[in-house]
Structure 1
C-alpha cells in the first residue's frame, strides 16, 4: 500500500466517522427540539454542568465549559446566555478569583434535563440502530457500543 492509498483509507475512515456523527446528531436534534425545545448543544451543556460538584475542581469556568461542549468561548457565552434567559442556568463569580465566572444548572434546568434524557437516549439508540444497517458504518457503531460496555464495567455499584 502506498502512502497515498494509506491516506485515502484514513480519509475514508474519517468521512465515515463524520457521517455517523452527523446522522446521530441530526436525529437527536429533531427529537430534543420537538419534545423539549432543546438543541443538542443545549442538552450537552446541561449534562456537563449537571455533573459539577462542590469542593476543589468541582465547578467549571467558562473556558472549561467551552472545551467540554466543543464550542468557541463566544459561542459558549451565547449558549449560556440563552439558557440563562430561560431560567435553566445561572452564572456567578468565583469566590477565590473574582475574574472567574462559573455556570451552574438551576433546579428547572435539572428538571428539564431529566425529562429530556429518555428522549435523548432513545434517539441515540434509534440512530445507532439505523447506522448499524449501513455496512460502512457498522464497525463504528460496534466501537461506540463497545465503549459503552467498557465504561459500564468501570462504573461503581449504584452509579
Structure 2
C-alpha cells in the first residue's frame, strides 16, 4: 500500500470529513453554552451523563465509565469533576457498599443549570447539523447522525 493508494486516500478523506463535522458542531454549541449558561461542552456533557445515573444496580458510574462517556482521560475527568464540584454543581460521596469507591452526583444547582442549558444545546446542535447538511462533503455524515436518531429540523422559537 502506498500513500496514493485509493483506499488510504478515501480513509483520509473520511477522517477529514468527520473531523470537519465535529468542529462545525462543537464550536457553535460551545459558544452558545458558554454565552448563555457559563458551561463548556465538556461540562455540559459531564452533567448530562451524571444526571442519568440511578440508584438501581449498575446505576452509578465509576470514574472510568464517566471518562469513556465524555471522551476524556480519567485524570482529565477527575479535574473536570473537581471544577464542577467547586462550583457547587456536583458532589462526591463514598459508595455505601465499598468504602474505596467514590460516587459523583449532580447537585440540585447542577440539575437546574443542566435543565436550563439543555434546550440551548439541542437547538444549537440541530442548527449546526442542518447547516452542515448543506456541505456536500459532510452531508453523508449528517445523514448518518440523522439515522442515529437526531432530527435535523430546528424547532420554532
Calculate the TM-score normalised by the size of structure 1. 0.89
Residues paired across the two proteins, number: 149
Which is worse superposed, 32-41 or 60-69?
60-69
SS where residue 96 of structure 2 aligns? coil
Aligned to 2:52: 51
**Cα distance, 1:55 vs. partner?**
1.8
Which is worse superposed, 24-33 or 58-67?
58-67
Q: Output the CA distance in 1 between the equivalents of 2:150 and 2:60.
A: 28
Calculate the TM-score normalised by the size of structure 2. 0.90
Give the alignment's Cα RMSD to 1 decimal.
Answer: 1.6
Task: Provide Cα deviations, 1:74-97, integer angstroms capped at 9, x if missing partner.
Answer: 111110011101111001111221
Matched, 1:10 2:37: no
List, as ranges, runs of 4+ consecutive aligned residues in structure 1 with deviation greater than 2 Å. none
Aligned to 2:111: 110
Q: Greater share of helix residues, 1 or 2?
A: 1
SS where residue 127 of structure 1 aligns? helix
Aligned to 2:139: 138
**Cα distance, 1:72 vs. partner?**
0.9
Distance 1:27 1:149, change over 3 A: closer
SS where residue 149 of structure 2 aligns? helix
SS where residue 148 of structure 2 aligns? helix
Q: Output the CA distance in 2 between the equivalents of 1:23 and 1:100.
A: 38
**Cα distance, 1:149 vs. partner?**
6.2
Task: Provide Cα deviations, 1:95-151, integer angstroms capped at 9, x if missing partner.
Answer: 22111111100111111001000100111011111111111001111111111169x
Aligned to 1:72: 73
SS where residue 10 of structure 1 aligns? helix
